[in-house]
Structure 1
Amino acid sequence: MKLLMRAAAAAASVVAFAVPAPAQAAPTSVTLAAVTELNAAGKPVAYPVKPGETGKAVLGVVNLADEPLAGVVVEVRVLNDMDLPRVYTNCQYYVDANVEGAWCEFDRELVKGETVATDFAVAAAPSADPANWSRVITRWFPKSYADERGGIAKLAELDNVGASKPGPGTGGGAVTLAPRPLPIPAAPSGVGFTDLKLMVTRLAALNARDAAGKPLVYPISRGETIGLNLGVANLGTAPAEGVVLRVRAYDDLDLPRLFTNCQYYVDANLEGAWCEFPQTVPADRSTYALTQFKVAATADAEAKTTKTTQVEWFPKEWSDRQGGIAEIAKKHSGQGTTPAAGTESALTLTPAEMTIPAETSHAIFVHTNLVTTPSSPTPAPSSSGPAIAAPGTPEELVITGSATTAVVAVGGALVLAGVLGLVVARRRRTSFTA
């Protein structure tokens, strides 16, 4: 249900962080100002987090009042592909459409000008997409603000929308505020924004292109082994610390077991390979090319069954979680077959110029075209016969040589016979219908 609500609200949320309005309005005067860390360029620090993992967001506050404040509360709100793990016992969590929120209470006294902060747990959904990514939004209030409205449990209840129930975290501990030197903004506000950088590795599978910019189609003959000019680029926000290649060839295409860093396997009508490369592919759109991956056509290959090779790229950390390429190849092997490494040399991946198309995917299909020759040569024309121009030219009906007279005579006789036959046929038809 939450995924559907996320998708429906994605477009609205990325414009000026258009969050559904909280049930509780903020005080008009700024007593507390939100603060956060700044980088060397004076910009808010963006804290990294990966899809499916929990990261931190530094949430800070400063007391601008002349008097100490006996406790503060904060409302934390995240949108779309961000989640708030329900871990803190001094927070009341709620859901409002595409928003997850929490009201948290701190009993700590804040004196004037003191900046305090906490590392707050924020998670990225497993399928988090940069297109559905935003910022952590905070609103700070004196504790008296919440007390006058029935406490943070009541505030969370008022903000909660839908079937989910608000409630405290169950992680076994409370979130706390501690002194931290943080810059106070020139225009202080009780509303703060903290950036999280979604660390996504997005690999794009590449194929060489022809002069027209089209993906290469590779000619191949029966029994021949050829090289495919394949590559990869990282279009994401996080580097790939090593990459893994999967190749699958179908029907009359085979994968010669050449490369020692590949695990080859067979499953029914396909041959596959999982290959591993240790080098880092940075998230800067630089392109890397293989030293030609080899495929072969069987000796009896047919054109309709030598068309397709499927190519896919994955981050190495993904394959490591599956137990490595040998374990993955074993899982994909057909019954009664055993995967094995190649026996000649390692397949390498090196920086090289390749074209990144407008539309990309981690998986592509690479096409081959079976080249065949006639089973028997066409007989050459007799030297005594007439000379005939090549078919398809205007001269193809021109006949020259000593046989011209005979051809004309025979042609005239045939025309005359045809005319006589037509006359007879007309007469017969007339007498039949009379």
Structure 2
Amino acid sequence: MTIRWYAGSAVAATVLAAGLAATPVAAAPAPNESDAAKLAAGSEKDPQTGKNRKYLVGQGEDVPAVLGVTNLGDAPVDGLVVQVRVLNDLDITTKYENCWYAVDSNQETAWCEFDAELAPGASLAVTGAGVSTKPDAVAENITTIVHQWFSKEYADARGGIQALADQWAGQGTKAVQGTVDPLPLTTPSGELGGIGGPIGFVGVGLVPPPTGEPTATPTPSATPSAMPTGEPTAAPSASPGTGGEGGGLPVTGAGTATVAVVGGVLLVLGSVGYLVARRRRTRFVA
């Protein structure tokens, strides 16, 4: 499987410069001039656009990025090593036992080795490499996955992948080995594209989190009025008076019962007073 290059692309040059700017100078691997293997990094091509694919994922999701390598030399390469770097809201969450992992501030690095032979002109790749987005990731903190390939011979001459990973660990820390089953290296399903050389960049974008289904705004109801505490009573309204007299105002509300009681008491007292006065008058006349 062959790999196509876009070294003349202005976009590729911009991405390359941005990726190298994020690399600590003191810990950066030496140029591959001393590596006898002629390896070129590549990534999956979008079949619709023909350009390198950009992976769009949500918060807290794995990035299924294809990180590939092609042997541009005339001899097979016995054993391969890849370095994977991510920044900010991209994390390396799955740790494989054939890799060593280092953390330095906002950068995470993995060094993985594979006992595979890469024939001239052939390509191999890993998928995902354990990279995922943070659960609270924001778009401006999601950029690229950087991957760089070496021959195992090159890495062993520098102490192996553990020693190389230690160089990328933060001050006072050491690289740690993964515990999950080995990260597999397989033949990619499609053509790889790249910008040339052993360093490759894979674009990652964040899908905006869902805002939820819109819900209908409930119509505000009228303010409920206080319920009467007593038994409801009819509110009689005064009928028009006779003989041209105007009718009285209707009496309503809780005071109706009180008025009726007071009126009844007054009526009884008036009757009693009338009878007493009449009896006295009758007795005086007799």
TM-score (norm 2): 0.64
Change in Cα spacing, 1:57 to 1:187, as seen in structure 2 (3 Å) is closer
Unaligned runs of 5+ in 1: 1-12, 204-242, 246-274, 276-289, 301-434
Q: Please name the residue that 2:164 is paired with.
A: 155
Q: 1:180 aligns with which of 176, 183, 188?
A: 188
Unaligned runs of 5+ in 2: 1-14, 226-286
Q: Which whole-Å deviations, capped at 9, do the CAs of 1:279-325 have from their partners, x for residues lacking one?
A: xxxxxxxxxxx4x532235257xxxxxxxxxxxxxxxxxxxxxxxxx
**Do residues 58 (structure 1) and 66 (structure 2) align?**
yes
Change in Cα spacing, 1:184 to 1:51, as seen in structure 2 (3 Å) is closer
**Do residues 33 (structure 1) and 35 (structure 2) align?**
no
Q: Which whole-Å deviations, capped at 9, do the CAs of 1:217-249 have from their partners, x for residues lacking one?
A: xxxxxxxxxxxxxxxxxxxxxxxxxx346xxxx
Q: How far, CA to CA, are the matches of 1:178 and 1:296 in structure 2?
A: 65
SS in 2 for 1:56: coil
Q: 2:218 aligns with which of 293, 298, 305?
A: 293
TM-score (norm 1): 0.43
Q: How far, CA to CA, are the matches of 2:179 and 2:192 in structure 1?
A: 33
Q: How far, CA to CA, are the matches of 1:147 and 1:129 in structure 2?
A: 38
Q: How far, CA to CA, are the matches of 2:195 and 2:140 in structure 1?
A: 29
Question: Is the contact made by 2:144 and 2:204 (CA closer than 8 Å) also made in structure 1?
Answer: yes
Instruction: Give the alignment of 1:171-210 within 5 angstroms.
Output: 171=180, 173-180=181-188, 182-183=190-191, 185=193, 187-201=195-209, 203=211
Residue 125 of structure 1 and its aligned partner are, at CA, apart by: 0.7
Q: Which residue identity lines up with residue 135 of structure 2 in the other structure?
A: P
Q: Please name the residue that 1:271 is paired with.
A: none
- Largest Rg, 1 or 2: 2
SS in 1 for 2:220: strand
Q: Please name the residue that 1:131 is paired with.
A: 140
Q: Please name the residue that 1:142 is paired with.
A: 151
Residue 89 of structure 1 and its aligned partner are, at CA, apart by: 0.4
Instruction: Give the alignment of 1:64-143 within 5 angstroms.
Output: 64-119=72-127, 120-143=129-152
Q: Please name the residue that 1:44 is paired with.
A: 52
Residue 85 of structure 1 and its aligned partner are, at CA, apart by: 1.5
Question: Is the contact made by 2:43 and 2:193 (CA closer than 8 Å) also made in structure 1?
Answer: no
Instruction: Give the alignment of 1:316-327 within 5 angstroms.
Output: none
How many residues are treated as equivalent by the alignment? Answer: 203
Question: Is the contact made by 2:42 and 2:194 (CA closer than 8 Å) also made in structure 1?
Answer: no
**Do residues 19 (structure 1) and 27 (structure 2) align?**
no
State percent identity of aligned pairs. Answer: 38
Residue 157 of structure 1 and its aligned partner are, at CA, apart by: 0.6
Q: Which residue identity lines up with residue 26 of structure 1 in the other structure?
A: P
Following TM superposition, where does structure 1 have runs of at least 4 consecutive aligned residues deviating by more than 3 angstroms? Answer: 162-165, 181-187
Change in Cα spacing, 1:297 to 1:145, as seen in structure 2 (3 Å) is farther
Question: Is the contact made by 1:35 and 1:182 (CA closer than 8 Å) also made in structure 2?
Answer: no
Identify the structure with bigger relative contact order (alpha carbons < 8 Å, sequence gap 6+).
Answer: 2
Q: How far, CA to CA, are the matches of 1:75 and 1:109 in structure 2?
A: 18
Q: Please name the residue that 1:357 is paired with.
A: none
Q: How far, CA to CA, are the matches of 2:104 and 2:38 in structure 1?
A: 27
Q: How far, CA to CA, are the matches of 1:25 and 1:109 in structure 2?
A: 23
SS in 2 for 1:159: coil
Q: Which residue identity lines up with residue 54 of structure 2 in the other structure?
A: A
User: Of Structure 1 and Structure 2, which has the larger fraction of its residues in strand?
Assistant: 1
**Do residues 166 (structure 1) and 91 (structure 2) align?**
no
Residue 133 of structure 1 and its aligned partner are, at CA, apart by: 0.7
Question: Is the contact made by 1:86 and 1:93 (CA closer than 8 Å) also made in structure 2?
Answer: no
Question: Is the contact made by 1:95 and 1:162 (CA closer than 8 Å) also made in structure 2?
Answer: no
Question: Is the contact made by 2:58 and 2:209 (CA closer than 8 Å) also made in structure 1?
Answer: no
Q: How far, CA to CA, are the matches of 2:144 and 2:222 in structure 1?
A: 53
Q: How far, CA to CA, are the matches of 2:187 and 2:171 in structure 1?
A: 37
Q: How far, CA to CA, are the matches of 1:128 and 1:187 in structure 2?
A: 28
Q: How far, CA to CA, are the matches of 2:151 and 2:117 in structure 1?
A: 10
Q: Which residue identity lines up with residue 106 of structure 2 in the other structure?
A: N
Q: Which residue identity lines up with residue 16 of structure 1 in the other structure?
A: A
